[in-house]
Structure 1
Amino acid sequence: MKALTFKRYGKTPDIGFAEVPRPTLKPDELLVEVHAAAVNPIDNMIPTGLFKAVVKLQLPAVMGSDLAGVVTEVGSRVTRFKPGDAVFASIFGIGTGAIAEFAVVPESAAALKPDKLDFVQAASIPMVGLTSWQALKERMKLRPGQKVFIPAGSGGIGTFAIQLAKHLGARVGTTTSTGNVELVRSLGADEIVDYKKQEFEKVLRGYDAVLGTVRGDAMEKAVGILKPGAAMVSLVGPLDAAFARARGLDFFLTFVFGMMSRKIMRLAKQHEVSYSFLFAHPDGAQLAQIGELLQTERIRPVIDKVFPFEQAKEALDYLAQGRAKGKVVIKVR
């Protein structure tokens, strides 16, 4: 089967199409004919080797983790799905990829595709949906009336997280460029800072939580807008020791990650707030709940651009420019 792969870690990962064997199933897995696959920033980061110690892959590795498609075969222990079911899933971190003609999906990671979404729309959801769910509901425990700061509101994560936060009853602050102000307002953002005209840390105050979506010193600046007792959850780093322990990493990596997060941890402690790093994990049950919100149109997909399968590498290059409004999706068939 045809798949987008990378052959090595580093500055020249040799990303391109290759013929790879069609995957074989374990008893608890589904074989899915992929109709669409979305790309995420992590897809461009993994070939650099930055997460090599955390995400275990056998090279050459098939790229991508978000998919929507049709089940063609099920393992002997699968009970919730059958051939012909339309599903969507994140397979991030399980060692296989989604930008391919077929993909293996653990039963525990899959959910039925909402009828109201086509395959392209459904593929745009898993990573951003699960990341937002696990950050806002599980880690932050966001409650009605609380204020959450979600920077980069027009991006893939931002467009979903704003809508989920509003569904949870929170007030949302965000940053965006002048041209995207109306987009984030339409998603429900309450306080919008045009980063080309203002600095958010000089405008926003009294927040209960912040979702770290922007690299650089944005998390350090965000500490000043938070109330004591607030929660900082970062999707972009620095990684911390708690994350290393949760992933079962060795003492050395736990120490290294602890050193990487030492500055932000110290700053957070000074302001009486908490800091943690989050790597979203596949979860079909959570994805099914997200699917209900999409089916009832309480949350809508936001898609910037759709690329044909043959231009999958161009989709990754386009995403890397950092200007996408919402998600970038590859239409496989």
Structure 2
Amino acid sequence: MRAIVTTKYGPPDVLELTDVEKPIPLDNQVLVKIHASSLNFGNLVLLRGEPFLARFAFGLFKPKYTIPGGDVSGVVEAVGKAVTQFQPGDEVFGDLSGCGWGGFAEYVAVPESALAIKPTNLSFEEAAAVPMAGVTALQSLRDKGKIQSGQKVLINGASGGVGTFAVQIAKSFGAEVTGVCSTRNLDILKSLGADYCLDYTKEKFSQTKTSYDLILGVNGHQPISDYKRALSPNGTFVHVGGSGAQMFQAMVQGPFVSMTGKQKLGTFLQRANQKDLLFLKELLEAGKVKPVIDRSYKLSELPEAFRYFEEGHAQGKVVITV
């Protein structure tokens, strides 16, 4: 089969499209013929080996996982004898980040727990845009942020992959949602149901008179003090992604603030979870959440897709068709 392979850390140019052996599923595995995948921040970490601490999980001197790619959608081609949830012909989607990656290829063999039946109203490309970003948004809002109906929620970086899902999921929980984005993305946020949209080129969320019960920092370079200033007295800030300096502040200052006051500040790391995939499937099929796709690239164009993704201006997700 054809796959994208990387044997060293570096820029997108280290990615090579080549022929590799097609996997054979083990007893507890499902063989999936991949139709589409998508890019996430985790793919950048796996590509470049940065931040350096990530190498303790991904390989200290070279990538432990030679075929990157976490999100997938496709069709089950074969199943191991111990598999009970799927059968050949099933259309599935899933997150491979917890079981060896391998999504940038024509086939992958993975444990059945990494997959769920694809939402019936989504194309393969749309389904591939969901798993990592959608579960990240869900877990950060529900599990870490303890979102409640009627709360005022601010999402900084609302027009990106995680942000577009977060806006819609927060609305599905009954929250009043304010999205922060640039001028060109205002219409996208309005179409996703955001109650208010802040154009960061004209207005800073930390300088408005509104305070928020829950803030999701999906990207940006603001100091943690800006988020703290915008929180209500009992509010919660969840750092999902952003600059290295911002992450460091969240990890170091967050626990101190949380212990010494009523505000809660912390960081969040997504965990692949089949149960949450099924939760998202229900939201997607009910029309409460829809993926936003910026651009689509062929597997052979993956280096170009990475270069565009690294610019940080994607509206929603960048999808790879296989």
* TM-score, length-scaled by structure 2: 0.90
Matching residue's letter, 2:166: A
Is the aligned partner of 1:117 residue 2:107?
Answer: no
Query: Retained in 1: the 8 A contact 2:130–2:291?
Result: yes
Q: Which residue of 2 aligns with 1:8?
A: 8
Tell me, in whole angstroms, the C-alpha distance in 1 between the residues paired with 2:130 and 2:250.
30
- Secondary structure of the 1:223 match is helix
Q: Which residue of 2 aligns with 1:318?
A: 308
Is the aligned partner of 1:91 residue 2:100?
Answer: no
Tell me, in whole angstroms, the C-alpha distance in 2 between the residues paired with 1:259 and 1:201.
17
Query: Retained in 2: the 8 A contact 1:32–1:73?
Result: yes
**Which deviations, in whole Å up to 9, do the C-alpha atoms of 1:69-89 show, x marking residues without a partner?**
001111221101001100000
Q: Percent identity?
A: 34
- Give the deviation of 1:225 after TM superposition: 0.7
Tell me: CA distance 1:98–1:210, structure 2 relative to 1, closer, same or farther (3 Å): same
Tell me, in whole angstroms, the C-alpha distance in 2 between the residues paired with 1:276 and 1:233.
5
Query: Retained in 2: the 8 A contact 1:32–1:103?
Result: yes
* TM-score, length-scaled by structure 1: 0.87
Q: Which shows bigger deviation, 60-69 or 260-269? A: 260-269
Tell me, in whole angstroms, the C-alpha distance in 1 between the residues paired with 2:196 and 2:12.
42
Q: Which residue of 2 aligns with 1:306?
A: 296
- Secondary structure of the 2:179 match is strand
Give the superposed CA RMSD.
Answer: 2.3
Is the aligned partner of 1:210 residue 2:215?
Answer: yes
**Which deviations, in whole Å up to 9, do the C-alpha atoms of 1:174-215 show, x marking residues without a partner?**
211112112101212122111111111001532111112114
**Number of equivalences:** 315
Query: Retained in 2: the 8 A contact 1:206–1:227?
Result: yes
- Give the deviation of 1:114 after TM superposition: 1.1
- Give the deviation of 1:58 after TM superposition: 5.4
Tell me, in whole angstroms, the C-alpha distance in 2 between the residues paired with 1:155 and 1:186.
14
- Secondary structure of the 1:179 match is helix
Tell me: CA distance 1:33–1:204, structure 2 relative to 1, closer, same or farther (3 Å): farther
Is the aligned partner of 1:285 residue 2:275?
Answer: yes
Is the aligned partner of 1:47 residue 2:52?
Answer: no
Q: Which residue of 2 aligns with 1:180?
A: 185
Gaps of 5+ in 2: none
Tell me, in whole angstroms, the C-alpha distance in 1 between the residues paired with 2:209 and 2:57.
35
Gaps of 5+ in 1: 240-256
- Secondary structure of the 2:156 match is coil
Q: How do 1:152-301 residues align onto structure 2 when only pairs under 5 Å count? A: 152-203=157-208, 205-236=210-241, 261-269=251-259, 272-301=262-291
Tell me, in whole angstroms, the C-alpha distance in 1 between the residues paired with 2:85 and 2:272.
16
Is the aligned partner of 1:32 residue 2:32?
Answer: yes
Q: Which residue of 1 aligns with 2:20?
A: 20
Tell me, in whole angstroms, the C-alpha distance in 2 between the residues paired with 1:21 and 1:273.
52
- Give the deviation of 1:47 after TM superposition: 2.3
Tell me, in whole angstroms, the C-alpha distance in 2 between the residues paired with 1:21 and 1:132.
35
Tell me: CA distance 1:329–1:238, structure 2 relative to 1, closer, same or farther (3 Å): closer
- Secondary structure of the 1:261 match is helix
Tell me: CA distance 1:296–1:331, structure 2 relative to 1, closer, same or farther (3 Å): same
- Secondary structure of the 2:140 match is helix
Matching residue's letter, 1:161: A
Matching residue's letter, 2:255: M
Tell me: CA distance 1:197–1:268, structure 2 relative to 1, closer, same or farther (3 Å): farther
Tell me, in whole angstroms, the C-alpha distance in 2 between the residues paired with 1:46 and 1:220.
30
